[in-house]
């Protein structure tokens, strides 16, 4: 499950760098929410942060917050970590002395989550004895700092007080949250969604796969540092940020796309629901029922290539190949049969029913490899993606 970082934004010209911090945290698989001081809204409209995070932005202590009658408490409980970046000398002084006169400082006082502060201000303000004492007070309470950098400041002065590089702040937060980056330097290939096999201009053979499982795995692998290629059939999902996404329609197109990327991959995860058969002779016009178009009544099918089995037969000793088995019964037995028959390293057997599997956000699954079977509880597809990658990460060690 994604960690939540509440980002406190104060009234400082360095506020524009917060946008980069948000993006960096999101790439690290972190959910970001923003709380702003009133002064901060004079530099950036909350709409920008709302657009970046796709979350409501909290500003006023007494603003209406649907479902949150005591907003500073609900925000405080929601955060796995509270990052304040940029943090002004004023806000640090308030925190050091327990003053809580706005939503940001009230939330900071209410949270039990770790707090990380990235200060930014004029060099003289930064070096002032009062500021330094306030910082020492906060450090003594367990608050961590990403120290300001030296350089040219917005006011024209030079010296210490410039907000740390966003990448440095992001790394400090991810390290504090123990976010896994165990796939750094690895290449991961993922297939997702259905394939569509045309019969005529308006009809086709397909299935109800939404692509959600494959997309969740691609995003989770990217968040853990992998270089990901996602090959997807027609779905209604947006392309994940930072991931090379290849769009295909038919099984043959998917086979070609997979073949071109498979050789460079360290892990290949085939979640796509590929049509087993395709019409032998699709036509471009609409077929009519009746004697005029007997082909519609006696549809001839030919077998599509087995992408999982073909790639597994070509894999190097250092490659891992994962397949999925969507079953309505006997999940473990059918998954193990597929593991052996396809020569895969791991099969994820998932139960498909009216409330499980296709087109929903949760799933029940079993991980089956040559050694054992591991039954997983019902969980979200994002959580299942992490569980699968945990297993593969161990196998790579």
pLDDT tens digits along 320-335: 999 999 888 889 999 9
217-234 tens-digit pLDDT: 998 898 888 999 999 999
Place of tokens 């006023």: 60
How does residue 69 score in pLDDT terms, banded at 50, 70 and 90? low
276-332 tens-digit pLDDT: 999 998 988 888 877 667 677 788 899 999 999 999 999 999 999 999 998 888 899
Distance CA 23, CA 52 (A): 8
The pLDDT of residue 351: 79
74-99 tens-digit pLDDT: 788 888 999 999 999 999 999 999 99
How close are the terminal C-alpha atoms of the chain, in Å?
Answer: 23
Domains in the chain, please, with CATH?
4-177 (3.40.50.1950), 187-396 (3.40.50.10300)
Specify whether the CB–CB gap between 194 and 208 falls below 8 A. Answer: yes
Q: Does the pLDDT at position 256 exceed 60? A: yes
Distance CA 319, CA 314 (A): 10
The tokens of 289 are what?
């029922």
As a whole number, mean pLDDT of residues 253-267 equals 97
Distance CA 20, CA 173 (A): 14
Among 12, 19, 155, 386, the one annotated catalytic:
155
Look up 386 and say whether it is catalytic: no
136-148 tens-digit pLDDT: 999 999 999 999 9
Distance CA 6, CA 200 (A): 52
As a whole number, mean pLDDT of residues 250-258 equals 98
As a whole number, mean pLDDT of residues 345-374 equals 81
User: SS3 for 106?
Assistant: helix
What does the radius of gyration of the chain's CA atoms come to, in whole angstroms?
26
Residue 203 CB-density burial (10 A; 0-12 exposed, 13-18 middle, 19+ buried): middle
Q: Does the pLDDT at position 355 exceed 90? A: no
Q: Does the pLDDT at position 356 exceed 60? A: no
Question: Model pTM greater than 0.85?
Answer: no
The pLDDT of residue 397: 75
The pLDDT of residue 362: 78
109-128 tens-digit pLDDT: 999 999 999 999 999 999 99
How does residue 181 score in pLDDT terms, banded at 50, 70 and 90? confident
117 or 350, which is more confident:
117
Q: Does the pLDDT at position 180 exceed 90? A: no
- Where helices occur in the chain by DSSP H, the ranges are 17-27, 46-53, 71-78, 89-96, 103-110, 123-127, 129-140, 166-177, 212-223, 251-262, 294-297, 307-314, 331-342, 381-396
Task: Give how far Cα 11 sits from Cα of 84, 90, 109, Å.
Answer: 11, 10, 19
DSSP state of 35: E
Specify whether the CB–CB gap between 82 and 109 falls below 8 A. Answer: no
Distance CA 221, CA 264 (A): 16
Strand partners, 187: 227
Preceding amide of 188 cis, omega within 30: no
Q: Which residues contact 169 (CB under 8 A, 6 or more apart)?
A: 21, 24, 83, 85, 116, 118, 146, 163
Task: Tell me the pairing of strands 144-145 and 149-152.
Answer: unpaired
In sign, the C-alpha dihedral spanning 291, 293, 296, 299 is: positive
The pLDDT of residue 97: 96
Specify whether the CB–CB gap between 234 and 249 falls below 8 A. Answer: yes
């Amino acid at each position: 499950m994604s960690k939540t970082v509440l980002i406190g934004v104060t009234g400082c010209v360095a506020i524009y760098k917060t946008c980069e911090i948000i993006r960096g945290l999101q790439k690290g698989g972190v959910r970001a929410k923003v709380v702003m001081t009133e002064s901060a809204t004079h530099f950036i409209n909350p709409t920008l942060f709302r657009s970046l995070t796709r979350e409501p932005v909290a500003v006023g202590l007494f603003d209406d917050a649907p479902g949150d009658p005591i907003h500073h408490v609900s925000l405080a409980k929601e955060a796995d970590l509270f990052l304040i970046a940029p943090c002004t000398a004023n806000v640090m002084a308030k925190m050091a002395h327990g003053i809580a006169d706005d939503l940001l400082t009230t939330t900071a006082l209410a949270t039990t989550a770790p707090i990380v502060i990235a200060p930014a201000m004029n060099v003289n303000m930064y070096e002032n004895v009062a500021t330094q004492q306030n910082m020492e007070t906060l450090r003594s309470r367990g608050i961590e700092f990403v120290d300001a950098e030296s350089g040219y400041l917005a006011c024209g002065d030079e010296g210490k007080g410039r907000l740390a590089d966003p990448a440095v702040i992001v790394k400090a937060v991810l390290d504090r949250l123990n976010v896994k980056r165990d796939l750094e330097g690895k290449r991961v290939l993922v297939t997702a969604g259905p394939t569509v096999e045309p019969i005529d201009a308006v009809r086709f053979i397909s299935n109800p796969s939404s692509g959600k499982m494959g997309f969740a795995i691609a995003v989770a692998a990217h968040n853990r540092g992998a270089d990901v290629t996602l090959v997807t059939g027609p779905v209604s999902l947006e392309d994940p940020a930072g991931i090379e996404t290849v769009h295909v329609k038919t099984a043959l197109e998917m086979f070609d796309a997979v073949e071109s990327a498979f050789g460079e991959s360290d892990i290949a995860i085939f979640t796509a629901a590929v049509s087993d058969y395709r019409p032998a002779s699709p036509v471009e016009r609409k077929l009519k029922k009746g004697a005029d178009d007997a082909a519609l009544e006696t549809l001839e099918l030919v077998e599509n290539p087995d992408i999982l089995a073909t790639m597994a037969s070509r894999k190097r000793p250092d490659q891992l190949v994962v397949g999925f088995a969507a079953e309505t019964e006997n999940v473990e037995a059918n998954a193990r049969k597929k593991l052996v028959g396809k020569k895969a390293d791991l099969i994820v057997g998932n139960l498909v029913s009216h409330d499980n599997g296709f087109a929903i956000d949760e799933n029940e699954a079993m991980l089956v490899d040559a050694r054992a079977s591991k039954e997983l509880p019902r969980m979200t597809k994002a959580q299942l993606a992490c569980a699968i990658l945990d297993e593969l990460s161990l196998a790579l060690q």
